[in-house]
């Protein structure tokens, strides 16, 4: 696990697996944990890391969307409520146990043992677009669907940090889970474009944090890729730097998804 300061009020924590990002944000005597690292020792270390940074103990958790690898904050802080977009709360309620099952499958594949199972508890559904109070300030919540049917991006405006969820990653292609999400994905990219002028750091769900200029370039690449995917299917050109065998497999999944029914 790697931890770096993006701002006096924002710490970025990156997991050693999947490059999953977690952001700890504070204002005054209140702090939230947005998304989560993955490995058990990383989750166990979060409270000590927060204390060493002289941040207040978190009073809440936020998840950008309902994929299992963004929901593990409850394993570090089982007493805290998990806040998420209304769309995410609906997704998780419609598929109870799905995140836990996918986590178990991941753990079994890598022979990871956890001291306790994931329990999401009662979710706090947040209106998106909207705002979430923290200390004397507010986090801005913006709709971010397309990768999945649910989700939100979180703008920490005073710190210049945009937590984008599974968008604007320099290490992975846009991933569709069903073809009818392509337009939604493009709409999310348009919303994120409008937020970039207010962000010095953009934190994708996976991969290193990037600056505004790099995020704008990735956004343009991702938009061009998705438009080419719709027009040319399997023949769409992949963005430069994201043409590895793994990303070609993601592209193949996207091509398949174009003809697949919508799913959560």
Write down the pLDDT at residue 262.
54
- 33 forms beta bridges with 24, 61
Q: Summarize pLDDT for 72-122 with one digit per residue, the tens.
A: 999 999 999 999 999 999 999 999 999 999 999 999 999 999 999 999 988
**What band does 143 get if pLDDT is binned at 50, 70 and 90?**
very high
Instruction: Domains for the chain: give ranges and CATH numbers.
Output: 2-257 (3.60.15.10)
Q: What angle do CA 104, 108, 112 make, to 5 degrees?
A: 95
Q: What angle do CA 5, 6, 12 make, to 5 degrees?
A: 65
For residue 214, the model assigns a pLDDT of 97
Q: What percent of the chain has pLDDT over 70?
A: 98
User: Could you tell me the pLDDT band of residue 258, with boundaries at 50, 70 and 90?
Assistant: confident
pLDDT band, very low/low/confident/very high, at 261 (cuts 50, 70, 90): low
| Statement: residue 41 has pLDDT above 60 | yes
Tell me what the mean pLDDT of segment 46-63 comes to: 97
Pairing mode, strands 21-27 and 10-14: antiparallel
**Integer CA distances (angstroms), 22 to 12, 94, 259, in order:** 6, 25, 33
Tokens coding 84 = 């998420």
For 145-197, what is each residue's pLDDT tens digit? Answer: 999 999 999 999 999 999 999 999 999 999 998 767 899 999 999 999 999 99
């Amino acid at each position: 696990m790697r931890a770096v300061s993006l701002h006096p009020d924002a710490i970025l924590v990156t997991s050693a697996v999947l490059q999953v990002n977690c952001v700890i944000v504070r204002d005054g005597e209140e702090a939230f944990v947005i998304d989560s690292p993955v490995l058990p020792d990383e989750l166990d270390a979060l409270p000590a890391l927060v204390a060493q940074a002289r941040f207040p103990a978190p009073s809440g958790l936020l998840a950008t969307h309902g994929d299992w690898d963004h929901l593990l904050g409850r394993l570090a802080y089982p007493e805290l409520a998990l806040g998420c977009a209304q769309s995410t709360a609906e997704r998780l309620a419609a598929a109870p146990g799905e995140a836990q099952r996918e986590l178990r499958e991941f753990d079994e594949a890598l022979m990871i043992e956890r001291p306790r199972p994931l329990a999401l508890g009662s979710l706090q559904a947040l209106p998106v677009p909207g705002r979430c109070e923290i200390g004397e300030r507010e986090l801005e919540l913006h709709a971010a669907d397309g990768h999945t049917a649910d989700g939100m991006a979180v703008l920490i405006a005073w710190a210049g940090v945009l937590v984008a969820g599974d968008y604007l990653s320099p290490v992975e292609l846009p991933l569709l889970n069903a073809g009818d999400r392509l337009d939604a994905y493009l709409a999310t990219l348009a919303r994120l474009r409008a937020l970039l002028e207010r962000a010095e750091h953009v934190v994708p769900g996976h991969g290193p944090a990037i600056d505004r200029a790099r995020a704008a370039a990735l956004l343009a690449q991702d938009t061009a890729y998705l438009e080419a995917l719709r027009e040319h299917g399997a023949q769409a050109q992949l963005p430069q730097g994201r043409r590895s065998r793994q990303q070609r497999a993601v592209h193949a999944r996207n091509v398949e998804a174009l003809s697949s029914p919508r799913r959560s």
